[in-house]
């Protein structure tokens, strides 16, 4: 009888050990895949353009609503040689272009939101984890002299680099607002 219990204990510890190794391998492969995808692609054939991919341009209304129309997915680009910020859609067309000297202020917002959908579908523990969204608001004057603004939803993988590039390229300080 003792031999049988020892064999069962060995089999259980072996399966637990096997499960741990599988988890480690999956974590390592996932980390390598996450680190191998470039968050920032620099330069268009050496032209000095900083490009931040996986961004979304959120067209705002005059009343200040963030989501008035569907977002445009694309790249936020800082062109050092022409001194302008552009948002290029997936097709490469610029959705907006702002000269550095027209920029009045830059605002970075980080908003936290509970993960209700994941909590309902997967586990209630997801209520403890919050998703973070990163927004860059650029306030500027248009050629007619009227005040305008654009809101760009940044990807979490390159949000901090985009904010640093905005400060260094434009020469303006970025005001930071982070919700807790």
Neighbours of 135 (CB within 10 A): 18
Write out pLDDT tens, residues 131-148.
Answer: 789 999 999 999 999 999
Residues 55 and 101 in one domain: yes
Residues 99 and 29 in one domain: no
**For residue 37, is pLDDT > 50?**
no
Question: How many domains would you assign to the chain?
Answer: 2
Residues 61 and 135 in one domain: yes
Instruction: Report how far residue 64's alpha carbon sits from residue 172's, in angstroms, rounded to the nearest whole number.
Output: 23
Write out pLDDT tens, residues 48-107.
Answer: 799 999 999 987 666 655 556 788 999 999 999 999 999 998 887 899 999 999 999 999
Structural domain boundaries enclosing 11: 1-36
**What is the model's pLDDT at position 16?**
66
Instruction: Report how far residue 81's alpha carbon sits from residue 18's, in angstroms, rounded to the nearest whole number.
Output: 56
Q: Name the band, by pLDDT with cuts 50, 70 and 90, for residue 39.
A: very low
Q: How far is CA 175 from the centre of its chain?
A: 18
Instruction: Report how far residue 17's alpha carbon sits from residue 12's, in angstroms, rounded to the nearest whole number.
Output: 9
Give the pTM. 0.67
Residues 99 and 169 in one domain: yes
Residues 158 and 107 in one domain: yes
């Amino acid at each position: 009888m003792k031999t049988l219990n020892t064999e069962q204990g060995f089999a259980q510890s072996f399966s637990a050990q096997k499960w741990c190794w599988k988890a480690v391998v999956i974590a390592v492969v996932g980390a390598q895949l996450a680190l191998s995808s470039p968050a920032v692609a620099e330069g268009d054939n050496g032209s000095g353009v900083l490009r931040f991919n996986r961004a979304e341009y959120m067209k705002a209304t005059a009343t200040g609503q963030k989501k008035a129309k569907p977002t445009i997915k694309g790249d936020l680009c800082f062109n050092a040689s022409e001194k302008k910020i552009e948002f290029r859609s997936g097709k490469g067309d610029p959705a907006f272009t702002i000269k550095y000297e027209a920029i009045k202020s830059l605002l970075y917002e980080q908003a936290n939101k509970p993960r209700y959908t994941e909590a309902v579908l997967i586990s209630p523990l997801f209520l403890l984890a919050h998703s973070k969204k990163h927004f860059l608001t650029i306030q500027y004057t248009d050629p007619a002299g009227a005040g305008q603004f654009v809101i760009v939803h940044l990807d979490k993988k390159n949000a901090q680099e985009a904010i640093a590039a905005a400060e260094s390229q434009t020469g303006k300080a970025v005001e930071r607002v982070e919700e807790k």
